[in-house]
Amino acid sequence: MIKSGTDINFAAQLLKKNKVVGIPTETVYGLAANAYAEEAILSVFKIKNRPFFDPLIVHVSCINQVNEIAHWHDERLKRLAEHFWPGPLSLLLPKKTIIPDIVTSGLSQVAVRMPQHPLCLELLNRIAFPLAAPSANPFGYISPTEAQHVLDQLKSQIDYVLDGGPCTIGLESSIVGIENNQLTLFRAGGISCEAIEQVAGTLHLNTSKSDNPKTPGQLKSHYAPQIPMYAGPLTKLLKKWGTKKVALLYTGTENYNVYFKFNLSPTHNNDEIARNMFRAFRAADQSGADVILISFVENTGLGMAINDRIARAVIRD
């Protein structure tokens, strides 16, 4: 079985030996390895059963460390880093040759971010290299937001999980880059479009789903429970599936009479929904229900990111 704890030195020693370690961030738990070591990165792909065409995000200890691995080719991206880092924002930058092609799936740009989690930042400051770290779950399954989720999913495949408690954001980072000289959102995430635009100007959207992604988080199907999950108006869904054992993921204060229910936010608060969503997916998937039902949320603040994750996980109804 994997061990977990708060021993940063032990985690650092394992990473220096090119081992793979589960790490906490404010978004989700990551499966981390030395971003400079091809052998270690290969282990990450194998443990996750992740396709090699799906690139990874590189985590740095400070803005200055970006200069080792990438080029600041646009002042707008530098401005975003200075404003939002540490935080749930990844920036797509032209990579330097020190980053192996396996990290970027052969693409010329690398996604970089500085995480906002005290244990993770302390770990990054104790090693001499950045960490490549996708979410610490089997490929395509629900992202982990607690150390126990990593322990349950990866069993004995890694040596250690650094336990930083529950993730405070609960959604992966937003990914922003430059496309056709336009500031472009490639993945909705833990920072709203409105907040990004206030700092760096008009933000164009390129969050299309693909079987051949240009950045992390663009695959068509992802974050999915094993039980079939449907999204749409709950009244319509319950009318269609009400004779089944229903796991209902909902907001508000209505008292539903179903097999299993999880209230994502009694007040319809998108920040609270984001924190609870992957935990709710996991609980519903383990409930013994026949189907999971959920509705989309208002597309404001983190709503775009929430709806993106729901859309990738469900059979849309």
Domain end (from 172, 205, 238) = 205
Q: 173: burial class by Cβ within 10 Å (0-12, 13-18, 19+)?
A: buried
Q: Name the region of 45 (left: φ>0; alpha: ψ -120 to 50; beta: rest).
A: alpha
How would residue 51 be classed by pLDDT, with cut points 50, 70 and 90?
Answer: confident
What's the domain count of the chain? 2
- Residue of 222 and 81 predicted with greater confidence: 81
Which residue blocks in 172-257 are alpha helix, DSSP H? 193-200, 234-241
pLDDT above 80 for 126: yes
Mark whether 292 and 189 lie in a shared domain: no
At residue 112, the pLDDT reads 98
Same domain, 68 and 146: yes
**pTM (2 decimals)?**
0.90
37 and 179 both lie in a single domain: yes
Q: Which of 205, 239, 267 represents a domain boundary (last residue)? A: 205
Is 216 contained in some domain? no
In this structure, are 196 and 235 located in the same domain?
no
Tell me the pLDDT band of 66, cut-offs 50, 70 and 90.
very high
Band of pLDDT at residue 2, cut at 50, 70 and 90: confident
pLDDT number for residue 140: 83
Give the chain's mean pLDDT: 93
User: What mean pLDDT is predicted for residues 54-76?
Assistant: 97
> Could you tell me the two tokens for 79?
């401005």
pLDDT tens for each residue of 130-168: 999 999 999 889 999 999 999 999 988 999 999 999 999
d(C-alpha 54, C-alpha 44), whole Å = 12
Mean pLDDT of 49-74: 95
Residues 119 and 234 in one domain: no
Q: Domain limits at 281?
A: 229-316
292, pLDDT greater than 70: yes
Are 41 and 143 in a shared domain? yes
Position 216 pLDDT exceeds 60: yes
Q: Report the candidate in 102, 53, 101, 57 with the shortest Cα–Cα distance to residue 211.
A: 53
Residues 163 and 307 occupy one common structural domain: no
CATH number at residue 174: 3.90.870.10
Residue 176 contacts residue 36 (beta carbons within 8 Å): no
Quick one: pLDDT at residue 222?
65
| Inside any domain, residue 42 | yes
For residues 23 and 120, the answer to whether their CB atoms sit within 8 Å is yes
Whether 51 and 199 map to the same domain: the answer is: yes
- Joined together, the tokens standing for residue 137 give 């779950």
**The pLDDT of residue 224:** 81
Whole-number pLDDT of residue 248 = 98
Domain contains 224: no
pLDDT score, position 218: 57
Q: Are residues 97 and 199 in the same domain?
A: yes
Confirm whether 214 is domain-assigned: no
On whether the CB atoms of residues 230 and 239 are closer than 8 A, the answer is no
Mean pLDDT of 3-9: 95
Quick check: is 221 in a domain?
Answer: no
CA atoms of 172 and 314, how far apart (whole Å): 18
pLDDT at 210 over 80: no
Q: What is the mean pLDDT of residues 199-211?
A: 82
Are residues 115 and 252 both part of a single domain? no
- Pair 187, 44 in one domain: yes
Question: Which of 119-123, 124-128, 206-210, 217-221 has the lowest average pLDDT?
Answer: 217-221
Domain-embedded: residue 215: no
CA triple 107-112-113, angle to 5 deg = 160
Residues 176, 238 within the same domain: no
Q: What is the pLDDT at residue 40?
A: 96
- Confirm whether 120 is domain-assigned: yes
* Cβ atoms of 121 and 86 closer than 8 Å: yes
Q: Which distant-in-sequence residues (6+ apart) come within 8 Å of 115 by Cβ?
A: 25, 26, 27, 59, 86, 121, 124
pLDDT-derived band of residue 65, with 50, 70 and 90 as boundaries? very high
Task: Check residue 155 and give its pLDDT.
Answer: 82
Residue 247's pLDDT band (cuts 50, 70, 90): very high
In a domain, 217, yes or no: no
